[in-house]
Amino acid sequence: MRQRLPDQTISAWARLQRASQSVLSAVESDLKAAGHPPLAWYDVLLELKRAGKDGLRPLALQSQMLLAQYNLSRLLDRMAGDGYIERRPCPNDGRGQIVVTTPAGRHLLKRMWPAYEAAIQRHFAERLSAEEATRLAHLLGKLSPR
């Protein structure tokens, strides 16, 4: 017979979910108020920047983003349509694609950061001491694969 989860474990799980949703929603609102696209756009551009000039295949980008493939495909379609990314043929797989940022995408990433940084400060950093943030990062690191 399986042992019942302790109440504090269930409470911690629920608080983690509520806190994540609350902070992300507030950050999204701040980005929108500043005239920027959603946070997922920033995340795509950041991962592509980290990948360098070779870009990433959509599947690799998906694993970094933790988005469902169909969501990522639509997101990449919108971003390509707006000129922030390009899809190029994969040199070693004729059916595959590589996604890279365009100069406009790199510019958008730079423009979004000040609003994103301010939102992180307002909705996250101001609520934790440096010691608390360090402890939280350590605890969350136990739950995160990267």
Answer yes or no: is 18 within a domain.
no
Structural tokens at position 107:
């510019």
Answer yes or no: is 23 within a domain.
no
Confidence label for 67 from pLDDT (cuts 50, 70 and 90):
low
Domain that includes residue 43, residue range: 37-143
Answer yes or no: is 31 within a domain.
no
Query: pLDDT by residue (tens digit) across 86-137?
Result: 999 988 887 889 999 999 999 999 999 999 999 999 999 999 999 999 999 9
Answer yes or no: is 95 within a domain.
yes
Spatial CB neighbours of 50, under 8 Å, sequence gap ≥ 6: none
104 to 36, 76, 132: CA distances (angstroms) = 13, 14, 37
Whole-angstrom Cα distance, residue 82 to residue 38?
14
Answer yes or no: is 42 within a domain.
yes
CATH number of the domain that residue 60 is part of: 1.10.10.10
pTM above the 0.85 mark?
yes
Answer yes or no: is 46 within a domain.
yes
Strand partners, 16: none
Answer yes or no: is 13 within a domain.
no
Whole-angstrom Cα distance, residue 25 to residue 37?
13
Confidence label for 14 from pLDDT (cuts 50, 70 and 90):
very high
Answer yes or no: is 88 within a domain.
yes
Number of domains present in the structure of the chain: 1
